Amino acid sequence: MDTIQTSNLSSILFIAGIVVVTLITIGLIFAKLYTRATKETAFVRTGLGGEKVIKDGGALVLPVVHEIIPVNMNTLRIEVEKIQKDALITKDRMRVDVKADFYLRVAPNAAGISMAAQTLGTRTTRAEEVKKLMESKFVDVLRAVAAEMTMTEMHEQRADFVQKVQQSVANDLEKNGLELESVSLTGFDQTDLDFFNENNAFDAEGRARLAKIIEEKRKETNDIQQENRILIEQRNLAAEKQSLEVKRDEEEARLTQEQILAFKRQEQKAEIAKQRENKEREEREAEIAKDRAIEAAEIEKSREIETQEIAKRQALEQARIRQQQEVEVAEQVKQIAVANKSEEESAARAKAAEAEKGKVEKVEAVTTAKMVAEAERKKQIEVIDARKEAEREAVGITVEAEAKKEAAENSAEAILTEAKAAADAKMLQAEADEKVLAVEAAGKQALYEAENTLKDEQIELQKALAMLKVLPELVEHAVKPLQNIEGIKILQGYGQNASTTNGQTVASGSQGGLAEQVTQAALSYRANAPVVDAMLREVGLVDSEKGTLDDLITGNSSVMPKVTGANSSTGESKSNGAAKPS
């Protein structure tokens, strides 16, 4: 029983194992043959059972009987760039450099996936191959749309340009199961002028239009720059004016402040001067009061001293008078006693006493008059002192007030006086000059009249004086050529009538009478004339070629200056010999 149960259990376990292995094998085969689609990739299965598009789920793909084509569902970016020689030509025959990005994908439906798998195959998973396939279509669409718009319109209406490109390329993309998400115009600019072909009609027309636009814009730019420059200069000028006005206001404020400060300083100085003046006046008044008190004390003291002196002198005078009276009385008693002896003597003495009495009375009268005069003089002195003191007080009060007024008046009067004095001095000087000129004219006229009345001797004398006056100048001019003498020749000629005595040359002309002397002098002159003329020419006193002594005497020499107004009638005695040789 147990054995049967054990064998049955083994059979069950075996069957169960086979079932499990079979299920696992079937599961592995199913997992191997089942292909799933993803969000990024769909596929199309063909073969047994026909075409089936798998986008979201999955399907069994049996070898040999089935074939799958994967389709990339991601968005592809295809960049198209046309620049320089390959640039687009616009409606206005301008070349523009364009860079555009096309974003496209497989249409997310069974028809689109099927069409993409049919027309593109596995190239949807390779963007470069899709670009090679689709770029020509995109370039054609870009050129077609660019030919319908000007460069300015393309720039200003980019959205319209992109929309037209999308509309034009959509139909072509549908044939490949693709759809265009968007087009981005990432680059747009005018092509450089160097890439315009002058032999190309489109480029030539565009080049001309571009040159016109550039020149117009350059002119407009220059106009704007010049206007801006003028506006800037005007603004700078206005700013400079405002700055100068501000500086002027600052300077005016500063000057006003300085003027106010100067006024304040002057007021302060005036106040200080006034206070100083008041203080000085008070000091002067105190000094005057002090001097007045001192003078009053001195006057009082002097008065007491003088009173004491007067009393002392009066006492002395009274004592002297009493003594004199006593002496006189004694003398009178003595005289009376003597008079009793002799009547004649008594009478004489009586007369003497009477005379002496008269004398004493006269002396006493003189003394009294002197004392009265002294007292009167002191009284007058005191009155004068009191009057001076009163006048001093009055002057002290008025002088200070009138000093400035008098100073100003005196200054004005001094200036006026100085001006009048200068004018008077000029008038006096002019009158004096006129008188001097008149006197000189009168003197010269009188001198000329006197000269016209001169005798021949006086005229000759004046000529001689004039000759003597210019003689130093003649000598100076005559000697001046000697400065250039390089050598001196000493010529010795004694003449035909000279005689030698004891080695000395003695002219024979000194002998004989006057007629003989004149004859000898003439002969000696004529004999020595060539030698003298040669000497004069040698030293440069006359012309070096034809100058003679006569030219030097008459003043015709070109070397010596001529003296006009004087007759040269000079008689010269010529020695027969020249200087002795040294």
Question: Torsions phi, psi of 309, nearest 5?
Answer: -65, -40
- Predicted local confidence at residue 482, as pLDDT: 56
Domain boundaries, the chain: 1-34, 37-195, 342-437, 490-554
Number of H helices, E strands in the chain: 10, 11
- Predicted local confidence at residue 230, as pLDDT: 92
Question: Torsions phi, psi of 197, nearest 5?
Answer: -85, 120
In Å, what is the CA distance from 191 to each residue of 93, 163, 281, 464? 12, 23, 104, 116
- Could you give the CA distance from residue 113 to residue 46 in angstroms, rounded to a whole number? 13
Please, are residues 355 and 328 in contact by the beta-carbon 8 Å criterion? no
In Å, what is the CA distance from 451 to each residue of 205, 281, 455? 115, 79, 9
485 backbone φψ class: left, alpha, beta (φ>0; ψ -120 to 50): beta
- Predicted local confidence at residue 234, as pLDDT: 92
Q: Note the pTM of the prediction, 2 decimals.
A: 0.35
* Tens place of pLDDT per residue across the chain (582 aa): 567 677 777 788 888 888 888 888 887 877 777 777 777 788 778 777 777 777 787 776 777 777 777 888 888 888 888 888 878 888 888 888 888 888 888 888 888 888 888 788 778 878 788 888 888 888 888 888 888 888 888 888 888 888 888 888 888 888 888 888 888 888 888 787 777 777 777 767 777 777 788 888 888 889 899 999 999 999 999 999 999 999 999 999 999 999 899 988 888 888 898 888 888 888 888 888 888 888 888 888 888 888 888 888 878 878 888 787 777 777 767 766 666 676 666 566 667 667 666 666 666 666 766 676 676 677 667 767 766 666 666 556 555 656 556 655 666 666 666 666 666 666 766 666 666 677 667 666 666 666 565 556 666 666 666 766 666 676 666 656 656 655 555 444 444 444 444 444 444 444 455 556 656 666 666 667 777 777 777 666 667 667 776 776 666 665 544 433 333 333 343 333 333 333
- Predicted local confidence at residue 566, as pLDDT: 37
In Å, what is the CA distance from 207 to each residue of 142, 154, 156, 387, 487? 21, 18, 21, 125, 102
- Predicted local confidence at residue 42, as pLDDT: 83
For 2, the enclosing helix (H) or strand (E) is helix 2-33
- Which spans in 150-199 are helix H? 151-156, 158-174
| Topology (CATH level 3) of domain 37-195 | Tetrahydropterin Synthase; Chain A (3.30.479)
Assigned token pair, 88: 């687009």
- Predicted local confidence at residue 143, as pLDDT: 86
- Predicted local confidence at residue 34, as pLDDT: 78
3-state SS, residue 187: strand
- Could you give the CA distance from residue 5 to residue 341 in angstroms, rounded to a whole number? 244
3-state SS, residue 46: strand
3-state SS, residue 504: strand
- Could you give the CA distance from residue 30 to residue 177 in angstroms, rounded to a whole number? 31
For 178, the enclosing helix (H) or strand (E) is strand 178-190
